[in-house]
C-alpha cells in the first residue's frame, strides 16, 4: 500500500523502515556497541554544553543519483572510500580532540591489526599540532574501556615490524585511563580524558 503525505508527496517507506547498514570499522559489527555508546556520550556533552564532538560520516564516492519527481534524490550507485582521518573529532575545554574507537574480544592484549596506517598518520599529525590525540579501546569480554593517549600507540605501532604485534592489556590498564561506566551517558570518556590531563600536568609529561 502506498502512502502519501497530505501535500501529495509520496512517503518513502524504505528510507525510514530499513535499518542503516552497519559500516565504519573494518572489523565490521564489532565496533557498533562502543560506537553507539560514544555517540550517546557526545549527544550528552553537546546538550550540556560541555563539548562539541561528532563522528564523521563515512566517506562515499557517489557515482549515480536519480531525482524521482516529488521525492528525495536517491543515490543509486556509490562506493565506500578509504577515510584519511579518524572517526571522531571536536573541541573540549578549548582543546582540539581527535580519536578513534576500537573494540577487541581479546583479553590479554590489543592487536595492532585493529589499527590502520592512515589513522596513525593522522593522529601523529594531530599530536604535532598539540591536539589531544587518543584512542578509546574496549575489551569487550572484560567489559573495560580505556582512553589511551596516541603516543603509547605510536610506540608499539612504530616497532611492530620487529617487536610485538599487540599492546599488552597490562600496559593499557597502567598507562591508559579506565572509563568508569555510568548511567547517562554510559561511557563518559571525557572524565578519563580529564584524569589523563591532570596526570600529564603533574608529571610535566609532554604526552599531548
Q: Is 59 in the site for a second copy (CB under 8 A)?
A: yes
For the beta carbon of residue 162, count every other beta carbon within 10 angstroms.
Answer: 6
* Closer CB to a second copy, 14 or 174, in the complex: 14
How near is the Cβ of 121 to a second copy at its closest, in Å?
10
Residues of this chain, 137-176, that bind a second copy according to CB under 8 A: none
Q: Quick one: three-class SS letters along the chain?
A: CCCECCCCCECCHHHHHCCCCCCCCCCHHHHHHHHHHHHHHHHHHHHCCCEEEEECCCCEEEEEEECCCCCCCEEEEEEECCCCCCCEEEEECCEEEEEEEEEECCCCEEEHHHCCHHHHHHHHHHHHCCCEEEEEEEECCCCEEEEEEHHHHHHHHHCCCCCCCEEEHHHHHHHCEECCCCCCCCCCHHHHHHHHHHHHHHHCCCCC
Q: Is 198 in the site for a second copy (CB under 8 A)?
A: no
Instruction: Say if CB 121 and CB 82 are below 8 A apart.
Output: no
Q: Is 92 in the site for a second copy (CB under 8 A)?
A: yes
Instruction: Say if CB 176 and CB 148 are below 8 A apart.
Output: yes
Q: Which three cell numbers stand for residue 124?
A: 601523529
Q: Is 75 in the site for a second copy (CB under 8 A)?
A: yes
Stretch that binds a second copy, among 50-58, 135-143, 176-184, 198-206 (CB under 8 A): 50-58
Among 33, 125, 158, 180, binds a second copy (CB under 8 A): 125
Q: Is 2 in the site for a second copy (CB under 8 A)?
A: no
* Closer CB to a second copy, 14 or 202, in the complex: 14
Among 10, 40, 90, 111, binds a second copy (CB under 8 A): 90
Q: Is 30 in the site for a second copy (CB under 8 A)?
A: no
Among 30, 102, 122, 138, binds a second copy (CB under 8 A): 122
Stretch that binds a second copy, among 1-9, 78-86, 138-146, 152-160 (CB under 8 A): 78-86
Q: Is 202 in the site for a second copy (CB under 8 A)?
A: no
Instruction: Say if CB 22 and CB 58 are below 8 A apart.
Output: no
Positions that interact with a second copy (CB under 8 A): 12, 14-15, 18, 20-21, 23, 46, 49, 51-52, 54, 56-65, 72-81, 84-85, 89-96, 98, 122, 125-126, 128-131
Annotated binding site for Mg(2+): 85, 87, 100, 119
Amino acid at each position: 500500500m502506498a502512502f502519501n503525505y497530505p501535500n501529495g508527496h509520496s512517503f518513502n517507506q524504505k528510507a525510514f523502515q530499513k535499518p542503516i547498514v552497519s559500516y565504519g570499522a573494518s572489523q565490521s559489527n564489532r565496533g557498533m556497541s562502543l560506537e553507539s555508546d560514544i555517540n550517546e556520550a557526545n549527544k550528552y556533552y553537546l546538550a550540556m554544553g560541555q563539548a562539541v564532538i561528532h563522528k564523521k560520516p563515512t566517506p562515499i564516492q557517489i557515482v549515480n543519483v536519480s531525482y524521482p519527481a516529488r521525492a528525495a534524490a536517491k543515490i543509486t550507485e556509490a562506493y565506500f572510500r578509504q577515510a584519511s582521518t579518524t572517526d571522531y573529532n571536536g573541541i573540549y575545554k578549548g582543546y582540539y580532540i581527535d580519536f578513534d574507537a576500537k573494540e577487541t574480544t581479546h583479553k590479554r592484549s590489543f592487536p595492532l591489526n585493529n589499527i590502520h596506517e592512515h589513522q596513525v598518520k593522522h593522529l601523529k599529525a594531530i599530536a604535532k599540532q598539540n591536539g589531544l590525540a587518543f584512542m578509546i579501546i574496549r575489551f569487550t569480554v572484560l567489559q573495560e574501556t580505556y582512553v589511551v593517549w596516541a603516543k603509547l600507540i605510536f610506540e608499539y605501532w612504530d616497532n611492530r615490524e620487529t617487536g610485538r604485534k599487540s599492546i599488552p592489556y597490562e600496559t593499557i590498564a597502567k598507562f591508559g585511563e579506565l572509563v568508569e561506566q555510568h548511567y547517562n551517558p554510559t561511557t563518559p570518556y571525557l572524565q578519563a580524558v580529564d584524569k589523563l590531563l591532570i596526570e600529564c600536568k603533574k608529571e610535566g609529561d609532554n604526552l599531548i
